[in-house]
């Protein structure tokens, strides 16, 4: 049963999911984010493949100041609602909002220390995020160079024990190590490669393996 929600406006649509702002009437000042996805008859064949349910399963197990908070999840006859805390922007927006299209070393270091703290926590839980990129690092505020960060979007996340490897293709190609793209097997260390790419993108405004390919231009 859905709690009483006040839908304000749709803000985005990602694949099969529609994302809405909403305010819970019980906590009027608490703005959250709802992901509403159509159900199919067999949840084992959820499309995109189990991503929303996978995200919920991960978020229900973790608790860290650097990870987006799951408010609640519920189902109706034909929809699944996933409600998470609402933040005010992401690292990509922060990078693109700068006149130079990049951040300075001090701001980058401040953000990365937080990301690495959350990542260390996840890896200790045996969880690999598998899709780290600036768009998946949410920010508490956009009007400061030193906001709190929270990792989000655990749709591709995997539980990977220390002695095991995975070969399925996950994540965003520009931020993935070669062994993922070549299906040679990967473990939680793929997240550290992604962090390296994030550092490069944040400081330069370009991708490391396509010299001169600006992040801003790639989004147009």
Quick one: tokens of 89? Answer: 């922007």
DSSP-H helix ranges across the chain: 51-59, 91-97, 105-124, 178-181, 190-204, 215-218
| Terminal Cα distance for the chain, rounded | 40
Quick one: tokens of 104? Answer: 């300075």
Per residue in 73-106, is it b (16+ CB within 10 Å) or e — as a string?
beeeeeebbbbbebbebbbbebbeeeeeebbeee
State the burial class of residue 13 (Cβ atoms within 10 Å of its Cβ: 0-12, 13-18, 19+): exposed
Known active-site residue 131: yes
Say whether the peptide bond before residue 48 is cis (omega within 30 degrees of 0). Answer: yes
**How far is the C-alpha of 208 from the C-alpha of 198, rounded, in Å?**
10
Residues in the chain: 220
> Which of the following is catalytic: 131, 153, 191, 213?
131
**Using an 8 Å Cβ cutoff, are 119 and 49 in contact?**
no
β-strands 70-75, 127-128 pairing? unpaired
Catalytic residues: 131
């Amino acid at each position: 049963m859905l709690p009483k929600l006040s839908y304000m406006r749709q803000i985005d649509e990602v694949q099969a999911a529609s994302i809405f702002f909403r305010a819970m009437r019980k906590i009027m000042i608490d703005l959250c984010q709802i992901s509403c996805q159509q159900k199919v008859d067999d949840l084992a064949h959820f499309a995109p493949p189990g991503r929303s349910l996978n995200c919920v399963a991960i978020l229900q197990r973790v608790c860290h100041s650097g990870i987006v908070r799951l408010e609640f999840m519920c189902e109706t006859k034909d929809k699944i609602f996933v409600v998470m805390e609402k933040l005010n922007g992401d690292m990509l927006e922060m990078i693109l909002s700068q006149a130079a299209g990049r951040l300075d070393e001090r701001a980058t270091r401040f953000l990365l220390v937080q990301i690495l703290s959350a990542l260390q926590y996840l890896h200790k839980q045996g969880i690999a995020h598998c899709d780290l990129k600036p768009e998946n690092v949410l920010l508490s505020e956009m009007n400061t160079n030193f906001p709190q960060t929270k990792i989000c979007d655990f749709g591709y996340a995997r539980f990977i024990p220390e002695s095991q490897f995975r070969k399925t293709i996950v994540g965003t190609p520009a931020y993935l190590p070669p062994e993922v793209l070549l299906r040679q097997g990967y473990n939680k260390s793929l997240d550290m490669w992604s962090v390296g790419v994030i550092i490069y993108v944040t400081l330069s405004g370009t991708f490391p393996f396509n010299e001169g390919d600006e992040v801003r231009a790639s989004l147009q």
